Chains A and B, each alone.
Chain A
Amino acid sequence: MAFAAFSTTAAPTSSDSVKKKSPVALLLLLPGILYLVLFFLAPLVSLLLTSFKVPAEFGDIGEFSYAFRWENYTDVITAYWPHILRSFGYAITATFFALIISYPLAYFIGVKARRWPLLQSLALVMVVAPFFISFLLRTLAWKQIFADESFLVTSLKAVSLLAPDAHVTGTAFSVIFGLTYNFIPFMTLPLYTTLERLDVRYLEAGSDLYASPFHVFRKVTIPLSMPGIVAGTLLTFIPAAGDYINASREFLGGTGTQMMGNVIEANFLVLQNFPAGAALSIILMSAILVMVSIYVKKSGTEDLL
Chain B
Amino acid sequence: MKHSISKWVLPAYSALALLILMIPIGYTFVYSFNDSLKSNITWRGFTFDKWLNVCNVQNGAVCEAFGNSIFIGVVATVLATTLGTMIAIAMVRYRFKFRSQLSLFLFLPMATPEVVLGAGLAAQFLSIGVPKDMLTIILAHTMFCISFVVVAVKARVASLDPALEEAGRDLYGSALQVFLRITFPLLLPGILAAALLSFALSFDDFIITNFNSGAVSTFPKYIWVSAARGIPAEANVLASAVFIFALIIVVTVQVSGAARAKRLEKLHQAGVN
Q: Which residues of A contact B (CB under 8 A)?
A: 1-2, 4-5, 7-8, 11-14, 16, 18-22, 24-26, 28-29, 31-33, 35-36, 39-40, 42-44, 46-47, 49-50, 101, 104-105, 107-109, 112, 117-118, 121, 123-142, 144-145, 147, 181, 184-185, 234, 238-239, 241-245, 250-251, 260-261, 264-265, 268-269, 274, 277-278, 281-282, 284-285, 288-289, 292, 305
Q: Supply 25 A–B pairs (Cβ within 8 Å), ascending by A.
A: A1-B196, A2-B197, A2-B200, A4-B197, A8-B152, A11-B155, A18-B162, A21-B95, A21-B96, A29-B102, A36-B146, A40-B108, A47-B119, A108-B10, A121-B255, A127-B21, A134-B239, A136-B227, A140-B227, A141-B27, A141-B31, A145-B24, A241-B113, A284-B113, A288-B112
Q: Does B72 contact A (CB under 8 A)?
A: no
Contact B25 A131 (CB under 8 A): no
20 more A-B contacts (CB under 8 A) besides A32-B146, A133-B24, A141-B24? A1-B200, A4-B156, A19-B95, A20-B93, A20-B94, A20-B95, A36-B146, A39-B121, A44-B116, A127-B18, A132-B242, A132-B243, A138-B24, A140-B223, A141-B28, A142-B24, A144-B27, A242-B207, A245-B207, A281-B115
Q: Are B115 and A1 in contact (CB under 8 A)?
A: no
Q: Is the interface of B mostly helix, strand, loop or mixed?
A: helix
Partner of B247 from the list A42, A132, A184, A261 (CB cut-off 8 Å) is A132
Chain A residues positioned under 8 Å from B197 (CB to CB): 1-2, 4-5
Q: CA separation between A252 and B102, bound complex, in Å?
A: 39
Q: A7 contacts which chain B residues (CB < 8 A)?
A: 155
Contact of A26 among B96, B115, B152, B158 (CB under 8 A): B96
Closest 3 CB pairs of A and B: A242-B113, A43-B120, A25-B94
User: Does B146 contact A35, Cβ atoms closer than 8 Å?
Assistant: yes
Does any Cβ of A come within 8 Å of B122's Cβ?
yes
Question: Is there a chain A Cβ closer than 8 Å to B109's Cβ?
Answer: yes
Structural contact, B200 and A28, CB atoms closer than 8 A = no
Given A1-B196, A129-B25, A133-B25, are A33 and B87 neighbors across the interface (CB < 8 Å)? yes
Contacts of A18 in B (CB 8 A): 93, 162
Whether the pair A39, B113 counts as a contact (CB closer than 8 A) is no
B22 touches A5 (CB 8 A): no
In this complex, the member of A43, A46, A245 whose beta carbon has the largest number of chain B beta carbons within 10 angstroms is A43
Q: Which A residues touch B151, using CB under 8 A? A: 4-5, 8
- Closest partner residue, chain B, to A91 (CB atom): B113
Q: How large is the interface on B (under 10, 10 to 19, 20 to 34, 35 or more residues)?
A: 35 or more
Specify which of A19, A239, A245 is in contact with B93 (CB 8 Å cutoff). A19
**Contact in complex: A39, B93 (CB < 8 Å):** no
A242 proximity list for chain B (CB < 8 A): 113-116, 207
- Bound: A108/B16 CA distance, A: 12
Give the chain B neighbours of A5 by CB distance below 8 A: 148, 151-152, 194, 197
